[in-house]
Amino acid sequence: MSDDTKGAGGTKTDAARDDMPIGSLARLTGVKIPTIRYYEEIGLLPAPTRSQSNRRLYAARDAARLAFIRHARELGFDLDAIRILMALQEKPEQSCSEADGIARARLAEVEDKIARLSALKIELEHMLEGCAHGRIATCRVIEVLADHGKCRHQ
Amino acid sequence: MSDDTKGAGGTKTDAARDDMPIGSLARLTGVKIPTIRYYEEIGLLPAPTRSQSNRRLYAARDAARLAFIRHARELGFDLDAIRILMALQEKPEQSCSEADGIARARLAEVEDKIARLSALKIELEHMLEGCAHGRIATCRVIEVLADHGKCRHQ
DNA sequence: CTTGATCCTCTAGTAACTAGAGGATGTAGG
DNA sequence: CCTACATCCTCTAGTTACTAGAGGATCAAG
């Protein structure tokens, strides 16, 4: 680690000290190195300071930001929604109705997806329960797929 | 429509007559024109005959094949699986255990996805039930996302 | 010095489409 | 015949969120 960076930031707090290389950040947050670079590229993460040899150096606040992103991704929020949520986070006096709306929309999506997958599950189960492990000529799986009458949108 | 095509195929059955333009096929099957072209490009649909002006001309068997693909896509089978299923369809004496296996794998995926989405639903609901529509400073949505302790994988 | 780990930028790929751009052909009506 | 609209062609590139190298540079330990 370059002493120059340390010296220049001698009065920095822990949250502000840029001394964590990208590999450490990846291990700390569980987000892969290329993904971290990707988030920087699309503006979701600020470009970090660099060492003399051009290596990225992160601070604890970057780790916190990345953890927020990761958590939101796990909940299925898309990157644009996360962008909005993070912007809101930086305006404590703002109404939280937008954040609420984003989360509600996501919940509705999840509920819709569950419903659709459940219907799908039933269809697949029906397909499989008639399957006697015989020949293709009498194969239920192939038969159902080939039967246009079974297409749900026709 | 070119009389040449008709003349050359004078003894063709309906299933073999190549006279349906791509727009008609798209309307008949509900699959978009670019998607049909895409399927041809990746080999899922055979390249059709062409008119003198280079327009694609499809037969009823092409429509049947496309309907199979579409039905399988709706059930969430990926294109490689569909490729296999269609190959199996053309071998009536073959055992249908592979088709069965493909469908079972898909069913397992669906069940897994339902379980994961259901857990997600609960998390989102918890997040939202504490939301009092106040300020960001006390916003449950932002709070939960920012709280690393709530990250499921840490 | 060597070796292995870590990091850099860049290009392109993944899966399944989808959206034009720019041009050609077909058809109906005047 | 012309015009206007519909239909079709190929080609390129975009969508979303990553991901996989290639080729090279730097860092740290032995």
Q: Tell me the ipTM for this assembly.
A: 0.82
Q: Which residues of chain B make contact with A104, given a CB cutoff of 8 A?
A: 128
A129 touches chain B (CB under 8 A): no
Identify the pLDDT of residue A39. 97
- Residues A20-24 have a mean pLDDT of 95
CA distance A140 to A133: 9
Q: What pLDDT was estimated at residue B15?
A: 58
Task: Quick: pLDDT tens for B9-30.
Answer: 444 555 568 889 999 999 999 9
What are the two backbone dihedrals, phi and then psi, of residue A37, each rounded to the nearest 5 degrees? -60, -40
Q: How many whole angstroms separate alpha carbon A103 and alpha carbon B136? A: 14
Neighbouring CB atoms inside 10 A of B75's CB total 21
Predicted pLDDT of residue A7 = 39
Closest to B93 in 3D by CA, of A131, A137, A132, A145: A137
Q: Comparing A54-63, B54-63, B85-94, B141-150, which segment has the lowest mean pLDDT? A: B141-150
Alpha-carbon gap: A15 to the closest alpha carbon of chain B (Å) = 15
Are B131 and A100 contacting, i.e. CB atoms less than 8 angstroms apart?
A: yes
- Is it the case that residue A6 has pLDDT exceeding 50? no
In the block, residue with structure tokens 């998390």: B123
| Residues whose beta carbon sits under 7 Å from strand C | A 21-24, 26, 33-34, 37, 54-56; B 1, 32, 34-35, 38, 51-55, 73, 78-80
pLDDT of residue A134: 73
pLDDT of amino acid A9? 41
The residue-averaged pLDDT of A100-125 equals 95
Helix, strand, or coil (residue A9): coil
Which of A30, A99, A133 comes nearest B141 by C-beta? Answer: A99
Chain B contact set for A146 (CB, 8 A) = 64, 67-68, 89
Please report, as a single letter, which amino acid is at residue B28: L
pLDDT for position A50? 95
